[in-house]
A and B are shown apart, each in its own frame.
Chain A
Amino acid sequence: MSKHASYWKANLRLVFGCLVVWFLASFVFGILLAEPLNSIRLGGYKLGFWFSQQGSIYTFVALTFFYAWRANKLDHEFGVRED
């Protein structure tokens, strides 16, 4: 397999992993499982409600930076950096 093809494969693996976290923090914890999670409390917040109005957003921020960091590292490992 060529260098570019294996870089692309590694990149897709990274993106897929990040998308799993993205989906869990919003759609699963914030919507699909919000009702059962609401029986757990986080201070004055019900947990499902907290995920949908706070937690998901914090997760997204962390995730985007994590992805940028990992993707830059991949560029380096596979020698496909711009400079």
Chain B
Amino acid sequence: MDLQTLTYIVVGATFALYIGIAIWARAKSTSDFYVAGKGVPPVLNGMATAADWMSAASFISMAGLIAFYGYGGSVFLMGWTGGYVLLAMLLAPYLRKYGKFTVPEFIGDRYYGKSARILAVICLIIASITYVIGQMKGIGVAFSRFLETDYDTGLYIGMGIVFIYAVMGGMKGITYTQIAQYCVLIFAYTVPAVFISMHLTGNPIPQLGLGSTMSDGSGMFLLDKLDATMKDLGFGTYTDKERLSTFNMFVYTMSLMIGTAGLPHVIMRFFTVPKVRDARASAGWALVFIALLYTVAPAVGAMARLNLMETIHPTSGPNAGQWVEVDQRPQWFKNWEKTGLLKFEDKNGDGRIQYVADKEKNEMVKVDRDIMVLANPEIAKLPNWVVALVVAGGLAAALSTAAGLLLAIASSISHDLLKGVFVPNISEKGELLASRFAMAGAIAAAGYLGLHPPDFAAGTVALAFGLAASSIFPALMMGIFSKKMNKQGAMAGMLVGIGITLFYVFQHKGIFFIADWKYLQSWGSNWFMGVEPNAFGAIGAVFNFVTAFIVAKLTAPPPEHIQHMVEHIRVPVGAGEATGH
């Protein structure tokens, strides 16, 4: 059977499964819509959280970025797992104890006022929309390859599917669907990695294969061979090439970690568990299921890079040491050319494709990093069903996260802004309707911006994390760990934190990520201590904390009952069910 038919069958079957589950467990009340009843045990909640969390950025994009950044790609691996440690210890148990539905609700109560709640909603919406742009990029790449069309068409089709999908279910439907999605995505990610690891090193466990010797008889370690190949072509060694600088890697990792602990759709998960101790365990289980993919990703990245190099510049076989001829290029190469995401240009007219670091001589003029994971099984000449499975897995990852985020955006607008502030007596029906409109609006905005995304999928998502890191994380932390933090301090901190981060990001990427709207170009790139905009969230968070403490010192301390509330959330005893208001 040809690849496209197979892909239709596999993708169709998995979609039928998700939709079936969503219909079976459809949301019936607003409470169901936002947080699935109370009956989700920690292991399953962890699995659903993992699916919610691992998006197109993790599945489709991250290993591709690692393949090209090498050691520098570690920022994603450490950043997107280490954040769970913070979440488990610094936020989850206390927010569960507090027992409300949404993050802005907590911020509004803790900082006693609607203004704090509105500010939190705005920060969350900015971060979440940016996050969805990243998902749209991933979905666009997957659909364009699967339907063999250009990227823009793939994106439009993806937008339609996300809309249908997200509007159908609430959290309740989504929780069970996401468990199914986790199973599909982890299977789809691991199977090709096992095959490739087996083929290259003889070791079927990718985590071990990456540290093993090549099975080609050379006796060389895989990573040493990759280092040598990369060095020969001028790319710099794979295993110690830093991302810009040590300092940049440090703040990049920090930014992703604290951003993880500040993103609404992940935190919301911990409101759904029955008890405080379940919130602690849920974070652990979520991390186990995430780690299954995250420890395989470095192997996928390194092996994909090695296979790509071997395709274009084989080091063994009849064509050893020669660049691949233009008309001998493999079928996968031609397929990806159709999407516009892979392009070569025979600059020196020798009928062969040179792939070197030197920009003047390099003929691989466009290699979109986000195609690597999807192209990987084809490059490794794996059977078609594996390729189809990877497409289905990538779509599962992108859809589950997009749906979770859209739900967070929708609940921010309908629950926090409309019901909580502007129209307190809105009916349940009205609230649900408003949340669906909010979803449609968010999809349209993110889809439009996804036509020219600010970065590769994982890079775009990193920007979203930076925005959450600089605004929400400090406000939550101070709300729990400092009894003296007051409304003025927290709000000033959020404003300065997100303001300064947006200023830096938009200066580099354009206002609202529209490239024509860049400003202060004469300041150059990465002018703040060599930090790239994706990594700036940690710096924004520092500004947030400092501003908050200075302002809090100069203004009146929070009222007595707020200080009691803080004491109350610090101890597990007396936690009730989550309630809205």
Give the residue of A27, A34, A64, A83 whose beta carbon is less than 8 angstroms from that of B284.
Answer: A64
A58 surroundings in chain B (CB, below 8 A): 291, 295
Question: What 8 A-B pairs come out closest when comparing CB atoms?
Answer: A44-B221, A52-B74, A68-B280, A44-B211, A53-B298, A64-B284, A43-B211, A80-B573
| B 564-578 contacts with A by CB, 8 A | 567, 570-575
Q: How large is the interface on A (under 10, 10 to 19, 20 to 34, 35 or more residues)?
A: 35 or more
B287 surroundings in chain A (CB, below 8 A): 60-61, 64
Is there contact, CB below 8 Å, between A44 and B213? Answer: yes
Q: Is B557 an interface residue (CB 8 A)?
A: no
Task: List 18 other contacts, CB 8 Å, given A54-B298, A61-B288.
Answer: A4-B567, A7-B570, A7-B571, A15-B89, A27-B254, A30-B253, A31-B78, A31-B246, A46-B223, A57-B291, A57-B295, A58-B291, A64-B84, A64-B283, A68-B88, A82-B276, A82-B575, A83-B275
A15 surroundings in chain B (CB, below 8 A): 89-90
Known interface pairs A49-B239, A52-B74; A80-B295 also in contact (CB < 8 Å): no
- In the assembled complex, the Cα of A32 lies from the Cα of B287 at a distance in Å of 24
Give the residue of B77, B212, B224, B281 whose beta carbon is less than 8 angstroms from that of A56.
Answer: B77
Is there contact, CB below 8 Å, between A67 and B74? Answer: no
Give the residue of B249, B280, B294 whose beta carbon is less than 8 angstroms from that of A67.
Answer: B280
Is there contact, CB below 8 Å, between A61 and B284? Answer: yes
Known interface pairs A4-B570, A81-B573; A45-B78 also in contact (CB < 8 Å): no
B224 surroundings in chain A (CB, below 8 A): 44
Is there contact, CB below 8 Å, between A34 and B78? Answer: no
- Residue pairs across A and B with Cβ atoms less than 8 A apart, 5 shown, are A8-B571, A30-B74, A46-B240, A75-B572, A82-B277
Is there contact, CB below 8 Å, between A44 and B210? Answer: yes
Q: Is B250 an interface residue (CB 8 A)?
A: yes
| B 54-93 contacts with A by CB, 8 A | 66, 71, 73-74, 77-78, 81-82, 84-86, 88-90, 93
A34 surroundings in chain B (CB, below 8 A): 71, 240
Is there contact, CB below 8 Å, between B74 and A32? Answer: no
Q: Is B129 an interface residue (CB 8 A)?
A: no
Q: Is A42 an interface residue (CB 8 A)?
A: yes
Is there contact, CB below 8 Å, between A45 and B246? Answer: no
A57 surroundings in chain B (CB, below 8 A): 77-78, 81, 291, 294-295
0/1 per residue, A13-43, Cβ < 8 Å to B? 0010011001000110011101100100011
Q: Is B534 an interface residue (CB 8 A)?
A: no
Is there contact, CB below 8 Å, between A56 and B71? Answer: no
Q: Is B442 an interface residue (CB 8 A)?
A: no
The residue on A at minimum CB distance from B238 is A49
Is there contact, CB below 8 Å, between A81 and B239? Answer: no
Give the residue of A60, A79, A81, A82 whose beta carbon is less than 8 angstroms from that of B85.
Answer: A60
A30 surroundings in chain B (CB, below 8 A): 74, 78, 253
The residue on B at minimum CB distance from A79 is B573
Known interface pairs A52-B77, A65-B284; A60-B291 also in contact (CB < 8 Å): yes
Q: Is B222 an interface residue (CB 8 A)?
A: yes
Is there contact, CB below 8 Å, between B239 and A32? Answer: no
Is there contact, CB below 8 Å, between A19 and B295? Answer: no
Is there contact, CB below 8 Å, between A26 and B253? Answer: yes
0/1 per residue, B222-265, Cβ < 8 Å to A? 11100000000000000110000010011001100000000000
Is there contact, CB below 8 Å, between B211 and A71? Answer: no
Q: How far is the CB of B236 from chain A (nearest CB, A)?
A: 14
Q: Is B144 an interface residue (CB 8 A)?
A: no
Q: Is B547 an interface residue (CB 8 A)?
A: no
**Residue among A42, A49, A53, A68 with the most chain B CB within 10 A?**
A53
Is there contact, CB below 8 Å, between A44 and B223? Answer: yes
Is there contact, CB below 8 Å, between B77 and A50? Answer: no
Is there contact, CB below 8 Å, between A46 and B276? Answer: no
A75 surroundings in chain B (CB, below 8 A): 276-277, 572-573
Known interface pairs A44-B222, A53-B74, A82-B573; A26-B82 also in contact (CB < 8 Å): yes
Known interface pairs A42-B211, A57-B295, A60-B81; A32-B250 also in contact (CB < 8 Å): yes
Q: How far is the CB of A74 from chain B (nearest CB, A)?
A: 9
A35 surroundings in chain B (CB, below 8 A): 240
Q: Is B401 an interface residue (CB 8 A)?
A: no
Known interface pairs A27-B250, A44-B221, A82-B276; A52-B573 also in contact (CB < 8 Å): no
Give the residue of A26, A48, A63, A81 whose beta carbon is less than 8 angstroms from that of B572.
Answer: A81
